[in-house]
Amino acid sequence: MKLYKYQQELIDNSHKNYIYPLDTGTGKTIISINHYWKHAQGKKLLIVAPAQKVREGGWDREINKFKTYNKIDNIDYKVISYHKLADAKVDKDTFIIFDECHYIKNYKGTQRSRFALTHSRQADGFCLLSATPASNGYQDLGNYFSIFGFYSSGYKYEKEFAVKQFNNIGFWEIKHWKNTDKIDEMWKSISSKALMKEDCVDLPPLVFEEKYFDAGKEYIAIKKDRYWNGILYDNTSKVIAGLRQSAGIKDKLEYLKEFRANTDANILIFYNFNREAKEIKKIMKVDYEVSGAVSNIPKFDDYDTLKGKTTLVQIQAGGAGIELQYNTEVIFFSPTWSYQDYSQALGRAYRIGQKNKVTVYKYIGNRTIEECVYARLDEKKDFAEKLLTDEDLGGNFDDK
């Protein structure tokens, strides 16, 4: 795939060992693959990412796109989670990409940070990615500076720059940081400029990303056995309802939780079923909500001041008639069968008055009926039960 101008400029100005502090939706994944190809072409590629992102398979898809576009036969790569970092085999023929690198920022007590430091020193080179690499400011930079070779450990960095004093319960605590100009200069020497989505002038105002998730045990059991957790799915309608509500739900929730934790953008989540809303509320704070039972949205005059808010909207109840353009990240947790509802929902955040670029994430259960539904919506058509085959449903019924 062809890079946007801002992406190419970032790569052109990069060093081999580098960190990209880039906003969600700016293309960190494809930037880092091109970075690897520029600085370490032919080396083995090890990608370390949160478990949720490994299971979602986005890295595999992006590498395949890169290979196809550039007519490359093979890239010797492996994608692992941070939990498996200890067992990774790394040598001078290996280049590492640390995705969501804030996972390794804490040099006080986390083994994965120590393993990242060890492997980065063993590798040919490395690249770090995160929208929020240092959300707590200077105190988060110690392990990064160790990885890049400025200090032997984060403690050495802290000793040089942190000003501490005893607190009222007798423990040392950091009060402030000294010589911050030097810290800033070190950071600039290893990092691209921080880039927000609205800074990317050639990025389209509305970007779509598909996220795929394993169908899950529940979905497979309903399709194959017509039974799950004490419930018998003994007719077509019950099977369809069960499949729609279970498609990839476990991995979707884990991925959503991770996404919310790693961005301070306002997120708008569209859902179809009450079960989905209940599960989403279990894993995160919902600030605003629109459903058949409740309508709670912020005042229009407050839109510009909102940050890090989550809005949960039942697509059938909130698809039309409300303005939600304070959100820049839009998630379809599951697809509606109505193209009208889908189109109206898109217009809630992306409309006149939206000052920023919007990314739409479509959560899709891999090899589930959701793929069929989105294929139909992409054709600007409704989906209907009659379009499902016996194979989609795992068999036929007399009532069909």
Q: Check which CATH number belongs to the domain holding 170 and give it.
A: 3.40.50
Q: Are residues 352 and 379 in the same domain?
A: yes
Please give the C-alpha separations between residue 23 and each of 29, 133, 160, in angstroms, as whole numbers: 12, 11, 30
Residue 199 pLDDT: 84
pLDDT value at residue 400: 46
Check: CB of residue 102 under 8 Å from CB of residue 133.
yes
Domain that holds residue 16: 5-199
Q: What is the mean pLDDT of the chain?
A: 92
Residues of the chain falling short of pLDDT 50: 400
Domain annotation covers residue 398: no
Q: Are residues 220 and 192 in the same domain?
A: no
pLDDT at residue 352, as a whole number:
61
Beta-bridged to residue 98, according to DSSP, are 48, 128
Query: Which of residues 150, 174, 199 is at a domain's end?
Result: 199
Report d(CA 44, CA 346) in Å as an integer: 41
Which among 159, 195, 185, 187 has a CA at the least distance from the CA of 174?
159
3-state class of 338 per DSSP? coil
Separation of alpha carbons 151 and 143, rounded Å:
9
Q: Which of 134, 164, 199 is the last residue of a domain?
A: 199
Q: Which two tokens stand for residue 161?
A: 């720059």
Residues 22 and 62 both lie in one domain: yes
- Shared domain for 161 and 122, answered yes or no, is yes
Whether residue 222 sits in one domain with residue 166: no
> Do residue 54 and residue 81 come from a single domain?
yes
| CATH number of the domain where residue 251 is located | 3.40.50.300
Could you tell me the pTM of the whole model? 0.83
Q: What is the pLDDT of residue 398?
A: 59
pLDDT for the residue 399: 54
Would you call 166 exposed, middle or buried from its count of C-beta atoms within 10 A (0-12, 13-18, 19+)?
Answer: exposed
What pLDDT score does 172 carry?
79
- Among 167, 199, 231, the domain boundary falls at 199
pLDDT tens-digit profile of 98-145? Answer: 999 999 998 886 799 999 999 999 999 999 999 989 988 999 999 999
For residues 310 and 284, the answer to whether their CB atoms sit within 8 Å is yes
In a domain, 399, yes or no: no
pLDDT, position 138: 94
What is the pLDDT at residue 353? 66
Q: How far apart are CA 85 and CA 115, in angstroms?
A: 7
How many structural domains comprise the chain?
A: 2
Distance CA 40, CA 125 (A): 8
